[in-house]
Amino acid sequence: MVMEQFQALDPVVQALLAGLFTWALTALGAATVFLTRKVDRRVLDGMLGFAAGVMIAASFWSLLLPAIEMSAGTGLPEWIPAAAGFLAGGIFLRGVDMLLPHLHPGLTRAEGPETSWHRSTLLVLAITIHNIPEGLAVGVAFGALAAGHPTASLAAALALALGIGIQNFPEGMAVSVPLRQEGLSPLRCFWYGQLSGAVEPVAALVGAAAVIVAAPLLPYALAFAAGAMIFVVVEDVIPESQGHGHADLATMGALVGFVVMMVLDVGLG
Structure confidence at residue 267 (pLDDT): 81
pLDDT at position 156 over 90:
no
pLDDT average, residue stretch 32-37: 87
Interatomic CA distance for residues 73 and 87, integer angstroms: 22
DSSP β-bridge partners for residue 102: 111
CA distances from 231 to 94, 165, 237, 245 (A): 8, 19, 10, 23
pLDDT average, residue stretch 197-224: 88
More confident residue, 268 or 161: 161
Q: Which percentage of the chain shows pLDDT scores above 90?
A: 40
Interatomic CA distance for residues 259 and 255, integer angstroms: 6
* Least confidently predicted of 6-15, 66-75, 121-130, 155-164: 121-130
CB contact set of 174 (below 8 Å; sequence gap of 6+): 29, 44, 48, 105, 127, 240
Task: Return the ∠ at Cα 168 (arms to 123 and 38), rounded to 5°.
Answer: 60
Structure confidence at residue 28 (pLDDT): 95
| Among 131-135, 204-208, 248-252, the range of highest mean pLDDT | 248-252
Structure confidence at residue 5 (pLDDT): 78
Torsion of CA 187, 106, 37, 55, to 10 degrees: 80
Structure confidence at residue 130 (pLDDT): 77
pLDDT confidence band for 258 (50 / 70 / 90): very high
Is residue 120 within 8 A of residue 233, CB to CB? The reply is no
pLDDT confidence band for 7 (50 / 70 / 90): confident
Structure confidence at residue 91 (pLDDT): 95
Is residue 53 within 8 A of residue 255, CB to CB? The reply is yes
CB contact set of 89 (below 8 Å; sequence gap of 6+): 133, 223, 224, 225, 226, 227, 228, 229, 230, 231
> Residues 103-115: pLDDT tens digits?
666 556 666 677 6
Average pLDDT in the chain: 86
pLDDT average, residue stretch 119-136: 78
Interatomic CA distance for residues 266 and 207, integer angstroms: 22
Alpha-carbon radius of gyration of the chain: 18
pLDDT average, residue stretch 169-197: 86
Q: What is the DSSP string of 54-86?
A: HHHHIIIIIIIHHHHHHTTTSSS-THHHHHHHH
Structure confidence at residue 89 (pLDDT): 94
CB contact set of 23 (below 8 Å; sequence gap of 6+): 168, 194, 197, 198, 200, 201
Structure confidence at residue 21 (pLDDT): 96
Q: How many residues does the chain have?
A: 269
